[in-house]
């Protein structure tokens, strides 16, 4: 059996290994950046008691039209536009280990995925993922005003 000198092995393997590790780390970092990247919402809503009222025509909520969902981080909410007349609101606290702000949404599976451990959660407000159901809130739409009952 041929033995490989440790130094020669490391010299041959490390660039590939390092490239793989760094590439993976960069990929994960870039993915997290992409998910976290979202302009903070600073206007177009008000909170009174346990009722959050959102003006959907406000530019800060424009991503609901273009992307179909937003992470409303300051209110710990995920907002989902199902259609012109149907919206849903969920907690953005992951049922698994309560991590926030690492979400993506797939319209094809109708699931949110928390990228802390890549667990997916249904947007049907009933089907449990790892750790439980992604809790949703009652909402009411009137014109461009969306009320979320927290």
Q: In this structure, what DSSP letter does residue 120 have?
A: E
| DSSP β-bridge partners for residue 79 | 70, 89
Q: Report which of 67, 12, 17, 62 is spatially closest to residue 41, judged by C-alpha positions.
A: 62
Q: Is 119 in the site for ligand FES (CB under 6 A)?
A: yes
Could you tell me the smallest distance in angstroms from the CB atom of residue 116 to ligand FES?
A: 4
Angle at 130 between CA 41 and CA 25, to 5 degrees: 65
Q: Which is nearer to ligand FES, 12 or 117 (CB)?
A: 117
C-alpha distances in Å from residue 29, one per residue of 17, 35, 115, 116, 126: 18, 10, 11, 12, 32
User: 89 pairs with which residues across the strands?
Assistant: 79, 137
Site for ligand FES in 36-95 (CB under 6 A): 94
Q: Is 135 in the site for ligand FES (CB under 6 A)?
A: no
Q: How far apart are CA 78 and CA 29, in angstroms?
A: 22
Interacting span for ligand FES (CB under 6 A) from 30-38, 51-59, 72-80, 113-121: 113-121
- The tokens for 70 are 């937003």
Q: Is 101 in the site for ligand FES (CB under 6 A)?
A: no
Question: Residue 117 or residue 138: which is nearer to ligand FES going by CB?
Answer: 117
Q: Which of 96, 104, 122, 137 binds ligand FES (CB under 6 A)?
A: 96
The stretch near ligand FES (CB under 6 A) out of 17-25, 27-35, 116-124, 137-145 is 116-124
Selected range binding ligand FES among 20-28, 40-48, 115-123, 134-142, rule: CB under 6 A? 115-123
Binding site for ligand FES (CB under 6 A): 94, 96-97, 99, 114, 116-117, 119
């Amino acid at each position: 059996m041929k033995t490989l000198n440790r130094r020669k092995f490391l010299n041959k393997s490390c660039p590939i290994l390092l490239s793989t590790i760094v590439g993976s780390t960069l990929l994960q970092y870039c993915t997290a950046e992409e998910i976290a990247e979202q302009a903070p919402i600073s206007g177009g809503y008000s909170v009174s008691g346990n009722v959050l009222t959102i003006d959907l025509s406000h530019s800060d909520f424009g991503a609901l039209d273009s992307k179909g969902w937003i992470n409303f981080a300051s209110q710990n909410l995920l907002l989902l536009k199902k259609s012109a007349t149907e919206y849903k609101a969920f907690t953005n606290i992951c049922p698994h280990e309560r991590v926030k702000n690492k979400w993506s949404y797939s319209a094809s599976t109708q699931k949110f995925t928390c990228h802390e451990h890549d667990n997916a959660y249904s947007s049907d407000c009933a089907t449990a993922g790892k750790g439980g159901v992604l809790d949703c809130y009652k909402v009411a739409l009137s014109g461009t005003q969306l009320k979320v009952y927290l």
